[in-house]
Structure 1
């Protein structure tokens, strides 16, 4: 039997406007949008709350926090994956691209990064097919150019692995996100407990890897992205020249450009611009790079990512709605824009025939309050 649910008396967030009305879903799909404040018998009265498409998260490191809640504490992975999934559902996210690093450093050095992506991807997929997860999970492979194993690790993934995004990550010291070496040293030594000598060894090792393997790893990443049918993204572009290089690789999405120059170059080349919602909410970058608000005010911001704070995604979108004086435009940065950027044609908008991914929320003061979340027609929060 078909299961029908009607969400009535809602402010429905469409791509270009907010309208008062009702949304009907049947089983897993949206079937109708009707204007007006009428609440039919048996309908859910949204009491004037916003009803938006479920939020789409393209780049999150949140799973890492659940896997290692304290330094050197390896939490059981099935429990960590479920906790991550539950947290995202609770803040309105119905589609996530879990970011996994590919490209490891296995030699003995302060730069050591263990290999983990293939095993963790299998664990996420196992939980998904067993019905343990509330929302739609896909993969975002973060391809580390400064590594020893990148081509080999990329070869472990195939077209059936739900890889939607591959991003080129170049963490050569002294450029991109950490051009300021003092800030880079403070960040790395604080995070990893390195001595001053170990930090210098770390810098030398990464610089050497980039010099010897960087071009090979970039070529392997571009080739793997095409083989996987994924979207290629750049990361932390800083100069117009870097954007030109990214465009030459076929990049169509730019994650976190660090300067106005780079963001403008992305716009000139029709590359979608992603900025961090925590940057917007906090009022600036924790690394000293350009503020997301500055790009928003120049209309150089297309998509928000929660990055390391899942709740920042909806809060950031609402904040953009206030900055632009247009709630629909603000919410588009976490719904229809990311869907379009990575070619997810079945979600990201409230429209008949699309997935019934919905987030109901109100705003109290400056804080969005999630009142209910539905993923593929099923209430998950």
Structure 2
């Protein structure tokens, strides 16, 4: 399945993309019509943990999965976008062992059935992909579904389950303003659309008080049992350990496998969400989850592979798909913390889509990066020109140079490496599309 160009599901998706638009068209009408024809599989799911937020929702989904699998539960997981293979969007739960990516023939069959049920009516490819997830998850036994919102919340096509076990809303900042609004309060209101009357809500750490106030207000108005980070639960690092605390007590845990201080809050939100969804959470479960959690393309360290071999010997290489100012801040904080432990010059290799805000992203790195190499995103028609992207980095106070691809940037870094300088730290990021391309070219796709 590494060569998805040969996969049956990929062929079906390519056919669908030729017939239907790839972009977003925010409405639930088409999705509800299609699901009705399919017999409303979204109403036959196991308990669902629904996760929204500008940043952190993928990590929280990964933590939820790790926690539940630590107790032996079968966990279906739907995330988007994928990095290398379409199959990454659908992880099928197995009782007593970790879930696996959906089998190719199974996904192809679900996609064909959804397309047939749609009967050629107007619809987006993302809606067909999501409907296929609902169909698969309703037909394969599991104990719980973790469903990540694609964009926004209120009109996202995952938002068709009337009674989720818990709705989780992670940090809200600026992204997709053309669809969600240009003020954080408006974006928060869209994310709050996944909150359902009387259903539990977990609100993760919020950088903006105004965003948290909107979320709390909606939850209160709908009569939802509510847990707010910093008020009802919290987490911090102490003596190299993660300390989680809520009204039920305190847990002394290992730091998560996922690096970065921001992952402490993500882990805490997942623990609280699993509890709020009605599952018992033991300290043994939490400890196992912190040691086993995986989330590719988010501060993922590459230690071997085709691209790694192009970098200077001993270089530390990280890949992260974060692409907005909020993500830039948490990634830069992680890089700074690595620098505190071991000093190395930091180089950025960045590619971004033209829908993002590169200046805000780059400003987070102004005081810590030696220089930036900007690259195109070959896998998307919406990639920013590397010259324009380099100008944004320059405007943020960084030394920047456009390059033709990641491999060339790594070669340049290697050529300029001085013999008496420590091996560099290299961050490749700015887009999940770029992260996926890097993992594919390096020969290390998600599994």
TM-score after normalising by structure 1 = 0.32
